[in-house]
């Protein structure tokens, strides 16, 4: 498995060219949790992304720093990065999943670290950007542990 990941990363790095197709974009994010996303390029290859997502009757605010690479296909990028999150889950909404203590009706405040890897495509004539990514997270506070189920599709409107 490690060899496959290494070969995949090598191929992506080999065919990448650094640049961006836009500076700022805002939109919606849909996946296991749904919410809003804002992505802003601070240089030709570096971007910051803010995500506000809703899940289990609560919310999570995430900030990410991303490194963006252009692929050989015009307007097609891949990216990876890291960041952190803070949020609050309502215990009554998560009880059905089996990991929540049913006597805990106050919920939990969560704080943790995030990673992200994904691919995005920007339309040429319409100011829209589409992305598909995986954002694994680790909670240090509030139901500590790894959360690897955050796969999402984002649709963003390009501001400039």
Distance CA 93, CA 54 (A): 12
Which residue range is the domain that position 95 belongs to?
Answer: 20-158
Per-residue pLDDT, 128: 95
Distance CA 24, CA 8 (A): 29
Per-residue pLDDT, 19: 45
Per-residue pLDDT, 99: 52
Per-residue pLDDT, 31: 93
Q: Is residue 42 part of a domain?
A: yes
- Alpha-carbon torsion angle 136, 139, 140, 141, nearest 10: 160
Q: Judge contact between 43 and 36, C-beta under 8 A.
A: no
Q: Is residue 82 part of a domain?
A: yes
Q: Is residue 124 part of a domain?
A: yes
Q: Is residue 134 part of a domain?
A: yes
C-alpha 18: how far from chain center: 20
Please report, for the domain that includes residue 76, its CATH number: 2.40.160.20
Per-residue pLDDT, 21: 74
Which of helix, strand or coil describes residue 70? strand
Per-residue pLDDT, 1: 53
Per-residue DSSP letter, 17:
B
Per-residue pLDDT, 55: 85
Per-residue pLDDT, 149: 87
Which of helix, strand or coil describes residue 11? helix
Per-residue pLDDT, 96: 53
Q: Is residue 43 part of a domain?
A: yes
Residue 151, Cβ neighbours under 10 Å: how many? Answer: 13
Q: Is residue 8 part of a domain?
A: no
Per-residue pLDDT, 132: 98
Which of helix, strand or coil describes residue 99? coil
Per-residue DSSP letter, 57:
T
Q: Judge contact between 129 and 22, C-beta under 8 A.
A: yes
Distance CA 133, CA 140 (A): 22
Q: Please tell me the total count of domains within the chain.
A: 1
pLDDT per residue of the chain (160 residues) written in tens, 0 to 9: 555 444 444 443 333 334 467 899 999 999 988 999 999 999 999 999 999 999 878 899 999 999 999 999 999 999 999 999 999 987 655 555 555 555 556 678 999 999 999 999 999 899 999 999 999 999 999 878 898 889 999 999 999 8
Q: Is residue 28 part of a domain?
A: yes
Distance CA 116, CA 82 (A): 6
Q: Is residue 117 part of a domain?
A: yes
pTM of the model: 0.79
């Amino acid at each position: 498995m490690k060899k496959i990941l290494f070969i995949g990363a090598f191929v992506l790095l080999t065919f990448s060219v650094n640049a961006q197709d836009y500076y700022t974009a805002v939109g919606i994010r849909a996946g296991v949790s749904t919410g809003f996303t804002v992505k802003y390029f601070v240089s030709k290859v570096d971007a910051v992304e803010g995500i506000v997502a809703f899940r289990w009757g609560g919310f999570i605010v995430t900030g990410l720093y991303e490194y963006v690479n252009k692929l050989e296909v015009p307007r097609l990028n891949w990216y990876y990065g890291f960041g952190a999150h803070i949020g609050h889950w309502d215990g009554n909404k998560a009880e059905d999943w089996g990991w929540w203590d049913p006597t805990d009706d106050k919920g939990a405040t969560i704080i943790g670290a995030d990673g992200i890897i994904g691919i995005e495509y920007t339309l040429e004539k319409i100011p829209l950007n589409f992305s598909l990514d995986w954002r694994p997270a680790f909670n240090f506070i509030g139901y500590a542990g790894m959360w690897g189920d955050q796969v999402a599709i984002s649709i963003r409107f390009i501001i400039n």
